[in-house]
Structure 1
Amino acid sequence: MNTTLPRSLDPAPGELLPGYLLRVAHRIGISPLDLAHWCGLPGGTTFPTHHLVRLDDDQAQQTATVCRLGLAEVHGLTLGTQAPSYPPLHPVYLGRHQSHIDMANDGWVFTAFSRYCPDCLADTADLPGGPVWQGSWRLPYTFHCPRHHRLLDWRCPACQAPTFSNGYRVDGRWRPTQLIPSPRSHLHAAQCRHRPGTGRDAPCAHRLDDPSSVTRAPTDAMVHAQQRLAAAAHSAASYGSLGQPTSPQRFLNDVRATTLAICSTWPATAEVFAHAEHLDAVAAHVETLHRAPAERAGPQGDGWLARSVDHPPGDPYQGAALMTLVVQILEDPGGQAVLARVLSRLPSSRAGYRRLRRLAPHCSPGMSAAIGESAQLRRGAVGPPALFPQPPTHQGQLDPESIPNLLPDTWAWPLDELDGPPRQLRRDAAIRLVQMTMGGSRAAAARYLGITPGALQSATVTIRAWQKQPGNAEAYQEALQRIAEIASAAGA
């Protein structure tokens, strides 16, 4: 259809395509899907999210004709236009050509849902067709509202589904994303469109423009981090990262590389940044990433929004905590050395290391230097990858079910004589006791004890470096034999 609507609306500053279509559809009394069909946007009965990233020339022209807009106004409703320097929205990203669909599916573009400020929605609720949904709310570097000095919300208070998402089914599986969920429903632009039950159930319809909702206020560091990231996504000027000048695009790639470094090496990384604020929020995000995929994808979980370890969290508080730490590292004149220490704990066998190698050519000179220094630290401080082998010497003598994941004082006193890292030694000794009883790999023994991959990595790196010092490996083996005897005598 190329017929012009009898009446339409001017886009509001910062508005995105889905919010604009909702307002127009509500004003003229049709469903968003019908309006989208007239604009040539959907594919059958679905409403693909990639239209949010960019529109091709024919779709943009048809939308302009139907909605009485200029072409520049239509393109201004897409993320690609609103964040011109943001690398994940570029047709060429990390050296590869990507389609609109690739951009929409990238974990650094939140096309599947939108954060929001209830106060902003309330302030614009009286506009024709309803309130304005800001485009910046769809991007992971926007986690607070400067106007109302509050962290953004991201879930409907009634049904708890992420706003503007298609949400989850009653069986816990996530529905395929759509640009506008429940596109056939006639709802106000501020109403939640998630269908809590089956596809035949009515949408939640809870009003999200309730300014009485309570949330945290951002810290000054969080405000600064968002300003820094948003400026880079809109700037073409030279930027600074790890003490050296670079482009905004390379700075933002540094942000992704630093996020990968923090999340891939957690909780060992927490020891490096022990004085950073809100580490509890970062830890909660990393814990979600380490859960099994089925658990992460369950109702009200947010692991599906962070599909791999370098993707930012959906929760605005966790996102603010993580991005604030990232910006502090990149702005620190000594950040290159600190980051090299963190990256040196990233095993070359992990997927995160391979992703880092893909990011490296597109990062700043400071980040490239940190990655190179980390390789030297890994070779010098960590040494050969093999640990002192732990044979199954006590099969049938110990009950593995009685071995705790952190040895108690009554078992661990032989370790106190070693002058080693106490907590890591107790954790590592528990892993080795399981190997002595059951055989198998360190990873299998750690899983048996419920030790997370991050905690296993922390213990492995620390103990490996300590064992390289003369006499430590042999003394440790003697201590383990004594611990096994203590455990056997205790009836373990």
Structure 2
Amino acid sequence: MTAPLPRSLDPAAGEILPGYLLRLAHRLAVAPLELGHLCGLTTGTVFPARHLVRLKDTQAQQVADVCRLHPAEAHALTLAGQAPGYTPLRIDYLGRHQSPVTMANDGWVLTAFSRYCPDCLSDTAHLPGGPVWQGSWRLPHTFLCERHNRLLAWQCPACRAPAFSNGYRSDGRWRPTQLIPAPAQRLHPARCRHRPGAGRVAACGQLLDQTGGPPLRPTPAMTHAHRRLAEAATAGAGREVASLGQRVSAQWFFNDVRATVSALLGSWPHPQNTLEAFGAMDALAPPEALHRTHPERSGELGDGRVARTFGHPPADTFLAATLMALTVAILDDSRGHHVLARLLSALPSTSTAHIRLRQHAPHCSPAMTEAIRGSVRLPRKSTGQPSLFPQPATHRGRLDPRTIPAVLPEHWAAPLDGLDAPRRQLRRDAAIRLVQMATGRSRRSAALYLGIPLGSLQSSTVTIRTWQKRPENAEAYQSALQRVAEMVMAEGQRNESGAPAG
């Protein structure tokens, strides 16, 4: 066991692991890489970026022991700990199992660099070890600082490289990301750590807490979008947000956001006329601004400034703010599904956006799924008669089927009580669907897993399917199931954290 450090730091509000270790290393006058070795986060010369996403319990314990923290404080220093409602950070996302390495290289997690507020860095410079890098700055939908009413910066004013990044090669490709760039070099936390070359080349070293010019101010639409996205990202179990006129889980909302971004970028320049008629452009930048994302994506600039794949917010803060404000305006409006239908109808059937929307549709809100279905031909999973009201495995890897009883406890069933459905059959059906959400089993297999007799399965199936066919019942039921699943997962996490050590 590694001995605790003689001195440590209390994490600041909103701080995440890279910034915390950088401040602590500066206070102790050691290289961040040396501190990473002590904390058990690396054994070589590379500082893996996957620790930014989440920590294993053993890793969190060692970080806590070395830095004199509680393990819960160590977990809270990760993006997953700070943004529980942000679905790209979940292990099971869009029906696929994600590893922390996969997430650390996903453009929707945006771990290749960090946006930042120079004023915030300046305001926290007096803290022990230096200024604080906020965790929310690493998320692609965070593009402004409301405290200072400014769009975040994203480049070093001296070398023009993306801030807090490991930089990019001469051909424009990103170098492999690291938890802390140039980890072997001792630098003040406010200084740019980008290295213009390879090997032992010194980092840029420019102070990033100096603005270098007047800040860009957000429009009201940008501020509104930022608040909506931040609210959803921090939403806990059972909380709902609005999307396309419905109350949905944060998971569905962010999947709707991703689908809308794909529709906007994939159908460009068609959105110009559609959105001008829609009225979403009134408080935003000229529609031509978004067109500037295309040469960056195609690599014509050759400087690696934009994230690695198509379909997510660009690195440039102004362009990202414009895109996300348009996205939220569509999802907020009662006519949003009509606007989406026009955008989707302009997508070529062989386009990347068209292909991705086919993959994402089953994981979006019911309203978004229907909008996509109207313009994009969705694949059928099997031949023969399609299942009526199928239940996708939306919570595989996050929801433990062993915790689900055949009869739901009263407090779990609370979200179902507001539905006008036969109470007993609905609770039995909900238990079956929770197992399907957790495992991907067929309905029959899930019922057998719970020990429900096939006769009871048939009875509840007939009753609940008849009820689901009535207008809006199916959507309301799915929304309630999402809340039940969040409650089950939250209770499981509390039980794990409160269990006595064996």
What is the deviation of 1:48? 0.9
- State the match for 1:208 in structure 2: 208
Alpha-carbon contact 1:170-1:198 (below 8 Å) kept: no
Contact 2:157 2:212 in 1 (8 A): no
Residue 288 (structure 1) shift? 2.3
Give the aligned partner of residue 293 of structure 2: 285
Q: Which amino acid aligns with 1:56?
A: K
Question: Which whole-Å deviations, capped at 9, do the CAs of 1:426-474 have from their partners, x for residues lacking one?
Answer: xxxxxxxxxxxxxxxxxxxxxxxxxxxxxxxxxxxxxxxxxxxxxxxxx
When structure 1 is superposed on structure 2, of 72-81 and 174-183 the one drifting more is 174-183
1:347 aligns with 2:348: yes
CA distance in 1, matches of 2:77, 2:25: 16
* CA distance in structure 1 between the partners assigned to 2:138 and 2:82 by the alignment: 11
Q: Match for residue 444 of structure 1?
A: none
Question: Does residue 1:267 correspond to 2:269, yes or no?
Answer: yes
Matched with 1:122 is 122
Tell me the residue number matched to 1:50.
Answer: 50
User: Is the Cα–Cα contact under 8 Å of residues 151 and 218 in structure 1 kept in the other structure?
Assistant: yes
SS of residue matched to 2:290: helix
What is the letter of the counterpart of residue 185 of structure 2? S
Whole-angstrom distance in 2 between the partners of 1:170 and 1:93 = 33
Q: Which runs of 5+ in 2 are unaligned?
A: 378-502
Alignment partner, residue 161 of structure 2: 161
Q: 1:306·1:314 contact (CA, 8 Å) conserved in 2?
A: no
After TM superposition, the structure 1 stretch with the greater mean CA deviation from structure 2, 229-238 or 20-29, is: 229-238
Q: Identify the residue that residue 102 of structure 2 maps to in structure 1.
A: 102
Q: Percent identity?
A: 58
Q: CA deviation at 1:372?
A: 2.1
Task: Trace 1:320-399 onto structure 2 (pairs within 5 A).
Answer: 320-375=321-376
Report the secondary structure of 2:268's partner residue.
coil
Distance 1:375 1:192 in 2: 45
Q: Report the equivalent of 2:312.
A: 311
**Runs of 5+ in structure 1 lacking a partner?**
377-492
Structure 1 residues 200, 169: closer, same or farther in 2, change over 3 A? farther
SS of aligned partner of 1:246 = strand
Please give the root-mean-square deviation of Cα atoms over the aligned residues, in Å.
1.5
Determine helix, strand or coil for the equivalent of 1:240.
strand
Distance across 2 between alignment mates of 1:25 and 1:121: 17
Quote the residue 1:241 is aligned against.
243
Tell me if the contact between 1:244 and 1:365 (Cα under 8 Å) persists in the aligned partners. Answer: no
3-state SS, counterpart of residue 292 of structure 2: helix
Deviations 1:385-441 (A, max 9, x none): xxxxxxxxxxxxxxxxxxxxxxxxxxxxxxxxxxxxxxxxxxxxxxxxxxxxxxxxx
| 1:228 partner amino acid | R
TM norm structure 1: 0.73
CA contact (8 A) 1:142 1:230 kept: yes
Letter in 2 for 1:281: A
Question: Are the counterparts in 2 of residues 239 and 251 from structure 1 also a CA contact under 8 Å?
Answer: yes
SS at match of 2:226: helix
For the 8 Å contact 1:112–1:179, the answer to whether it is kept is: no
Report the count of equivalent residues: 369
Q: Which residue of 2 aligns with 1:2?
A: 2
Counterparts of 2:204 and 2:214, CA distance in 1:
21
1:170 Cα offset (Å): 4.9
CA contact (8 A) 1:170 1:196 kept: no
Q: 1:288-303, aligned counterparts within 5 Å?
A: 288-289=296-297, 291=298, 293=299, 295=300, 298-299=302-303, 301-303=304-306
369 and 172 in structure 1: CA distance in 2 versus 1, 3 angstrom threshold: closer
Letter in structure 1 aligned against 2:325: T
Q: Could you tell me whether the CA contact under 8 Å between 2:113 and 2:163 is conserved in 1?
A: yes
Q: How do 1:159-238 residues align onto structure 2 when only pairs under 5 Å count?
A: 159-170=159-170, 172-211=172-211, 213-235=213-235, 236-238=238-240
- 1:343 and 1:182 map into 2 onto residues whose CA distance is 43
Once the 2 structures are TM-superposed, how far is the Cα of residue 302 of structure 1 from its aligned partner? 2.1
Distance of 1:27 and 1:288 partners within structure 2: 39
Shift of the alpha carbon at 1:192? Answer: 0.5
Q: Distance between the aligned counterparts of 1:168 and 1:373, measured in 2?
A: 41
**Contact kept in structure 2, 1:340 and 1:374, CA below 8 Å:** yes
**Any idea what the Cα deviations from partners look like across 1:324-343, whole Å, max 9, x if unmatched?**
00000011101111111110
**What displacement does 1:211 show?**
4.3
Q: 2:255 aligns with which of 247, 253, 256?
A: 253
| 1:183, distance to aligned residue in structure 2 (A) | 0.5
Deviations 1:9-65 (A, max 9, x none): 000000010000011001011100000000011252101111000011111111111
**Structure 2 CA distance for aligned equivalents of residues 133 and 152 of structure 1:** 12
Q: Is the Cα–Cα contact under 8 Å of residues 26 and 189 in structure 1 kept in the other structure?
A: yes
**TM-score, structure 2 as length reference:** 0.71
- The structure number with the bigger radius of gyration is 1
- For 1:68, the equivalent position in structure 2 comes to 68
Measure the CA separation in 2 of the matches of 1:162 and 1:154. Answer: 6
CA distance in structure 2 between the partners assigned to 1:355 and 1:122 by the alignment: 41
CA change 1:42–1:281 in 2 (3 A) is farther
Maintained 8 Å contact 1:122/1:211: no
Question: 1:2 offset after TM fit, Å?
Answer: 1.1
The one-letter code sitting in structure 2 at the alignment partner of 1:317 is F
Q: What's the CA shift string for 1:91-132, capped at 9, x where partnerless?
A: 110011111111111110011100000000000001111000
Kept after mapping to 1: 8 A contact 2:354/2:376: no
Shift of 1:286: 3.1
